[in-house]
Amino acid sequence: MEKVLTSALVALLMTATALALSLHRIKEDVLAAYSKEDFSEMMSMLAIHDTHAVKEMVDRGKVVGLRKGSEVYLESIDLIARIAQVRPKGSTTAVWIQSDFVD
């Protein structure tokens, strides 16, 4: 049983590493946050339809938009929370988005 779990973990890590090394595209326009904490706050504000609070986050430089078709590198992914850290091609700064928006 332990060997099976170890093998599954190794396969998962190899898959995540392979994903991080390849270029992906954004499926639809999406809001992205520069930190995981800001992403969580942004999602909370969107859940209660407080678009003014989200606009304030944009104005303060905590949230940006990524356009459909933008090329990004997958830096990390949280499969349980369904969020991903991506780095737009040509940028040195990564952002957090919902993983469903990465192809």
30: confidence class by pLDDT, cuts 50, 70, 90: very high
Instruction: Determine the residue type at 79.
Output: L
CA distance 68 to 47: 22
Q: Where are the domains of the chain?
A: 2-101
Instruction: Name the pTM for this structure.
Output: 0.78
Range 13-18, long-range pairs (CB < 8 A, 24+ positions): 16/76, 16/77
What pLDDT is recorded for position 16? 53
Residues near 39 by Cβ (< 8 Å), separated by ≥ 6?
32, 33, 83, 96, 97
The SS3 call for residue 43 is helix
How does residue 37 score in pLDDT terms, banded at 50, 70 and 90?
A: very high
